[in-house]
Amino acid sequence: MKNILIIGATGQIGSELTMKLRGIYGGGNVVAGYIKGTEPKGELAESGPSALVDITDPVQIADAVKKHNIDTIYNLAALLSAVAEARPQLAFKIGVGGVYNVLEVARENGCAVFTPSSIGSFGEETPHNPTPQDTIQRPKTIYGVTKVTGELLSDYYARRFGVDTRSVRFPGLISYVTPPGGGTTDYAVDIYYAAVQGRTFKCPIKAGTFMDMMYMPDALRAAIEIMEADPSRLKHRNSFNIASMSFDPEIIYNKIKEYKPEFVMEYEPDPLRQAIADSWPDRLDDSCARAEWDWKPEYDLDAMTRDMLEKLELKFAPKLELH
Ligand code: SER
């Protein structure tokens, strides 16, 4: 990777991945692709170039790739699972049409491509604990349909055209930087904000519903390590199960209470999110990622909780007014 384009650079993953890649490959070599209304700001705007890249417009993608001599594309554009159910046509346009646009531009310009998949690519018929690397993928959500399609198209472009496509299936991602929006796993982010802001947390997911989760620093490292991996060792490409922790609302609530004993959570289940969560794995088996490119997570629930609480306390600390 020398010249990188991030599509969706101002989103939940992109805002942090862009900064991390700029730290490794140099600010000038990582282009932050954004859509109208989400222009990069602050550090993200100042630390390197940016370009208007709407994934539904293949000409915009091709123009940015040619102008900046791009060799690697990180395609992070997506509507998350619950919001995608409200706008399935747009979810398809971004998650299937967009992936096709990126793969075509990559084929024509010799770029490698990372398009994340998700625990959402699995469904009710999938074995849930553990979920093997190669198993049934019959999701019922449009989000899942786009993710499975992205996996298949990416493997097709690798086999048929030699495009260097690689991917991981992300669990629910937890971070204190850019909030997610419209996901099923978002409760595990929102719960920390409520704890730090002293609010009672209304949990949309029922006790006993286990899902894979991951702290953002591990997720960013996975996205970079898979693209740097020795291709001769890869038996799989699109997409690798990765995992670091699995919990239900009770477990994360009790963990936060260890540090904030006054914190209160109540249940207020959301039927859409609950149905989606019930269809997703409890715990992914990530042994292929461990064997083929030495994947290893660093954060468990306790380490993540300590860091999240500390960083959010700083974020919400009253600012000192200097006169
Ligand atoms: N975090 C995503 C969601 O909940 C899953 O990949 O939609």
Residue by residue, DSSP assigns 189-256 as HHHHHHHHHTPPEEESS-TT--EEEEEHHHHHHHHHHHHHS-GGG-S--S-EE--SEEE-HHHHHHHH
Three-class secondary structure of residue 249 per DSSP: helix
Furthest C-alpha separation in the chain: 65
Atom of ligand 1 minimally distant from the CA of 119: 6
What does the alpha-carbon distance between residue 170 and residue 211 come to, in Å, rounded to a whole number? 11
Q: Which residue is associated with the tokens 């786009």? A: 146
What gap in Å lies between CA 220 and CA 270, rounded to an integer? 29
| Number of neighbouring beta carbons within 10 Å of residue 224 | 18
Residue nearest to atom 6 of ligand 1 (CA): 118
- pLDDT, position 213: 98
Q: Which residue's CA lies nearest to atom 2 of ligand 1?
A: 183
Confidence (pLDDT) at 6 = 98
Sequence letter at residue 173: L
| Residue entry with tokens 């101002």 | 10
pLDDT (tens place) for every residue of the chain, 323 residues total: 689 999 999 999 999 999 999 999 999 999 999 999 999 999 999 999 999 999 999 999 999 999 999 999 999 999 999 999 999 999 999 999 999 999 999 999 999 999 999 999 999 999 999 999 999 999 999 999 999 999 999 999 999 999 999 999 999 999 999 887 889 999 999 999 999 999 999 999 999 999 999 999 999 999 999 999 999 999 999 999 999 999 999 999 999 999 999 999 999 999 999 999 999 999 999 999 999 999 999 999 999 999 999 999 999 987 766 66
312 CB contacts (<8 Å, ≥6 apart)?
176, 192, 193, 196
Query: Of 219, 234, 217, 228, which is closest to residue 71 (Cα–Cα)?
Result: 228
Among all chains, which residue has been given the structure tokens 């461990």? 290
Nearest-atom number in ligand 1 for the CA of 170 is: 6
Give me ligand 1 centre to Cα 26, in Å: 30
What's the 205 CA to ligand 1 centre distance in angstroms?
A: 13
pLDDT value of residue 318: 78
Confidence at residue 281, expressed as pLDDT on a 0 to 100 scale: 98
Q: What's the CA gap between 40 and 33, in Å, rounded? A: 9
Q: How far apart are CA 149 and CA 86, in angstroms?
A: 19
| pLDDT for the residue 321 | 65
Å from CA of 164 to ligand 1 middle: 25
Ligand 1 atom closest to 147 (CA): 6
Asked if 26 contacts 14 with a C-beta cutoff of 8 angstroms, the reply is no
**CA-based R_g, the chain, Å:** 19
